[in-house]
Amino acid sequence: MNVVIVAPIENSLYSLLVTELAAQEPGVRVTGIVLRRILDWRRISSEYRRDGPRLLRKIWSKLIRNNIDQRSAGPELTLEALARDQGLPERRLSQLARRRCIPLHRTRRFEDSSVIAFLRRAEPDVVLFTGGGLLRKDFLAASGGGVFNVHMGILPPYRGMDVVEWPFLETKAGDDAQVGLTLHLMDQGLDTGDILRVRQVSARTVESFTALRRRLGPMMVELMIAGLRDLRDGKMQPAPQKLQDGRQYFVMHPRLKEIATKRFHTWRRHCSAPGPNTVASVSTP
């Protein structure tokens, strides 16, 4: 089974781990990596047009804060710890591609004709998306059996952004917030494609949203690889989403984030009964 990886930046630990673990899977061959150029004026200007000054926060959190968080994390399982466990020596996708002899294609935009040509040469059965922006019709059409994405929230209820925080803002006192991950097929909408696997996560044992996101990192890798195995073993059962069962969420305003954080801490205090460990359940739809 041929697999192509789509990555947002050279040093994304998530992309590195997905690539490495996919390449280790029996019966799976990584036939290409599509890497988006980060220092590209057109990418920066189009993202600035879309995000405005929020782009600076994105750069801070994705390129700097995440690295600091991963390195300063406690003994719990993080992407950094998973990379250590796997003995992953590289910190850059280009290095990994060289070691594993995987063709790597750098691009400014995913919809460029050169990307489509690269995909056709790689003949993927599936594309594993690890970030980098929306995908257009031509890309999706050239991606073989589909594009897998792990969404950091439960679908269908929570589509969009900041869906780790939103459930705590919306959940009534005493109820459990719906936190977790969803593996789904990408389509042209935002988190609207067919659902492949849902993984509920309990947040009882984490101290903050940052810690929760950190814990979700390695689970995202596991979920992606589990989906890959399902496809290889013919066990994949895509379930279409009913859009009316969910809502689209946007970046949370800092003042609402403050309230969500307070609610999260109140909720944790009230969870006096010992709960299940971080992973509560894994289900296929």
Partner 1 sequence: MLSVTKNIAGSVNRLLNRLEGTVSRDEHMRLARALAPTIQTLSSVDGVSVERLVNISIESPRDCFDSWSDKVEQRERPAIARWLTNLAQACANGCTRLESSEPFAQIDHAVLGCAVGDSLDAENVAAVVFGVAHGAADEDCKTLMQLKALFALHRYWVSMSAPVRAAIRTFFLARTPVQWVPPQRIQYGCSLALRGALFLTRLGDEDRAIESFTRDLAERIMRRIELKRAGAFSFHVPPQLADPRPLLEQQRLTYGLLEASFTFGDARFLNTALKANDLVHRSLARRFSAATADCSALSNVIFYCASVQAQEALLAELSR
What are the residues binding partner 1 (CB under 8 A)?
50, 52-54, 56-57, 60, 65, 68, 72, 169-170, 247-256, 259, 262
Asked if residues 199 and 282 have their Cβ atoms less than 8 Å apart, the reply is yes
Q: Which is nearer to partner 1, 139 or 249 (CB)?
A: 249
Task: Kindly state the helix (H) or strand (E) to which residue 104 belongs, with its residue range.
Answer: strand 104-107
List the structure tokens of 127. 């594309």
**Nearest one of 211, 180, 212, 209 to 197, comparing CA atoms:** 180
**In angstroms, what is the minimal distance from the CB of 115 to partner 1?**
24
Q: How far is the CB of 71 from partner 1 (least distance, A)?
A: 9
Nearest residue (CB) to partner 1, 118 versus 166: 166
Closest CA to 121 of 142, 96, 137: 142
Least spacing, CB of residue 65 vs partner 1, in Å: 7
Residue 222 belongs to what H/E stretch? helix 209-232
Residue 39 or 68: which CB sits closer to partner 1? 68
State the nearest-atom distance from the C-beta of 88 to partner 1, in Å: 24
50 vs 91 by CB, closer to partner 1 = 50
By the 8 A CB rule, do 145 and 231 touch? Answer: yes
DSSP state of 161: S
Give 1 or 251: the residue with its C-beta nearer to partner 1.
251
Distance of closest approach, residue 187 Cβ to partner 1, in angstroms: 18
- Dump the DSSP string for 170-182: HSPTTSPP--EEE
